Amino acid sequence: MGYYTGMVAAVPAANRDDYVAHAAAAWKVFKAHGAVRMVDTWGVDVPHGKLTDFHRAVEAGQDEVVVFSWIEWPDGPFAEAAWPALMNDPAMAALPQAPFDGSRMIYGGFTPVFEQGGHTGAGYYQGFVLPVPAANRDAYAKMAGEAWPMFRDGGALGTVEGWGDYLPHGQRTDFHRAVRAEGDEVVLFSWIRWPDRATCDAAAAAMEASADAAQFAQMPFDGKRMFWGGFEPLFDSAAG
């Protein structure tokens, strides 16, 4: 298992092409400092929630689209050592201005507590952000392991459940605010890879129809503060 820097940002819809170009340029710098892969995805089915959602998390405006992204590193210590050098690299400072409001971007470092399936071939992603009590880490990993066969049988290609171990507090936005984290709760940053949206939607409908209230009552986290969305690949360093 590697280590992931997870990010969520609000990007003006008109800046989609500029965002892709910026991601491609930034990837060259991340790669030079040892990053394994970078994936950016573009929100296409991002619902508004009653308590939390991706839009609130980054204060997205009506003309903005939520981008759900991650950088993969060999491991946590490697990532921790790489970031200071990366931020002091003149190549990073020379990048064009980001085509979005960076002051509203949220980010953090995540260690996988559950990971299954392949990492390639996805035409669609489901992204999730949720709060989990620190004491429930093992229970959450167990739940993820029990749920994976349902997703796999529904056509999912793979999944990663990332446990937040570096979650900085921001002045405007951050992962803590995004899920209204309480006390000792930790933020999870997770995704499921699907071949396409149709497969994902069909699997979601089938699982919803077979679920019961008892299953939801036994979840080791507050599902009311979890939020999710559907995303299409925008930039993937492994694709080119």
Average pLDDT of the chain is 94
Looking at residue 213, its pLDDT comes to 41
pLDDT value at residue 211 = 63
Instruction: State both tokens at 182.
Output: 């309480």
Domain that holds residue 22: 3-239
Handedness of CA 72, 75, 78, 84 (dihedral sign): positive
Per-residue pLDDT tens digits for 32-52: 999 999 999 999 999 999 999
Q: Which helix (H) or strand (E) holds 21?
A: helix 16-32
Q: With 60 as the cut, is the pLDDT of residue 26 above it?
A: yes
Q: Is the pLDDT of residue 214 over 80?
A: no
Q: pTM for the complete prediction?
A: 0.94
Query: Into how many domains does the chain fold?
Result: 1
CATH of the domain at 87: 3.30.70.100
pLDDT above 70: residue 239: yes
Average pLDDT of span 145-167: 96
Residue keyed to tokens 């946590």: 76
Residue 102: CB partners within 8 Å, gap ≥ 6? 9
pLDDT over 90 (residue 210): no
Angle at 45 between CA 5 and CA 141, to 5 degrees: 45
